[in-house]
Amino acid sequence: MPFIKVDVLREDLNREKKQQLIREISKAVTTVLNKDPHLTHIVINEIEDDNWGYAGEQVTVLKEQGFSTEKQ
């Protein structure tokens, strides 16, 4: 029984995007690991920018300096 935990920044992750993420992860686990999707558990943890650090800085500070999490 797979248990998948996804940590993401709390941004523009609305209900529809969360559902899509859960669906796509479930599909990948079914395809790659041959696991029953009804036994696959996925938890999405949304983390505030102040509580996430990267390269020695808070994401809040990095965003103030122009850092973006969007795909270039």
Out of 1, 2, 24, 33, which one is annotated catalytic? 2
**pLDDT category, 68, cuts 50, 70, 90?**
confident
pLDDT over threshold 90, residue 7:
yes
Domains delineated in the chain: 3-65 (3.30.429.10)
pLDDT of residue 64: 92
| pLDDT tens digits along 41-65 | 999 999 999 999 988 999 999 999 9
Q: How many residues does the chain have?
A: 72
Write down the pTM of the prediction.
0.82
> Active site includes 2?
yes
Phi and psi at residue 36, in whole multiples of 5°?
A: -70, 120
CA distance 51 to 2: 27
